[in-house]
Amino acid sequence: MSQVRSVVSKEADVWILRLEKANGKVQEYRCTTEGQAKQLAMVLAASTPVESVQPQA
């Protein structure tokens, strides 16, 4: 399965969501608020197959 890493950061009054894919490509989304960027990250993470790891108790 491919893994996607998301990073949310603020640059010049714009919130940027960067998705770094396993093949090295980066896709950027620009959002007005931090909440929008985080919600978009959750939606995009749910639509891409990412391997789930359960924490060991």
- The confidence score (pLDDT) of residue 44 equals 83
Contacts of 55 (CB under 8 A, 6+ apart): none
Q: Is the residue at 21 inside a domain?
A: yes
The string of DSSP letters for 1-57 reads ---EEEEEEEETTEEEEEEEETTS-EEEEEESSHHHHHHHHHHHHHHS-----PPP-
Q: Is the residue at 55 inside a domain?
A: no
Q: How would residue 37 be classed by pLDDT, with cut points 50, 70 and 90?
A: very high
Query: Quick count: other Cβ atoms within 10 Å of Cβ 21?
Result: 13
- The confidence score (pLDDT) of residue 3 equals 63
Looking at the structure of the chain, the number of domains it has is: 1
Q: Domain range holding 16?
A: 4-47
